[in-house]
Structure 1
């Protein structure tokens, strides 16, 4: 077992030293990730990619977008679970219509045509369902 300092891996989360025992396999995975990141940094410097904002290979996104912390990922997962539970608490038709509209990206007219009803009924049903969802959040 090897000891690692979590403050070195997650400086924005751990402000003080926090040592944890990890297996050799986990340690090798961490080292491989560090090597890959160092190679990526060298590649960006070598090809002067740190100055480029017009290329389409995603380098500028790596510079501009802040990586998500484990806390952010956990909060996002919990919010998704709460939203799913709230949608499942709705009546079946409203849940299906909201799912089709916002998850599948269907238009109201497409949903109405698939169900054989007027678009206004689908629109009103979705509106009522969203009002009920607002009570959960």
Structure 2
């Protein structure tokens, strides 16, 4: 049995030294993971493989756009139906104004009537 310090492995969790006895198999697994991580960092440094999300090759889409599950699609559809029903309950002029400002983006920055300049 080997003793390892969990503070060295989990710096954010353990603030003080905490020693644990582990088997040789666990110790070898930890060492293999450390070697693999060190090799990965060397490879990134050697080949200058720091990627930016602005590089336009699809990396940002893989990170930002998650595939939609059927539950999410159903929730979005129900939400759109609720919004549509709420807008249809409004008076015609108010519904038209909301439709123009929110859905068509007409006058989105300024929805108030213009101030007359005759002052």
TM-score, normalised with respect to structure 1: 0.42
Of Structure 1 and Structure 2, which has the larger fraction of its residues in helix?
1
The structure number with the bigger radius of gyration is 2
TM-score, normalised with respect to structure 2: 0.48
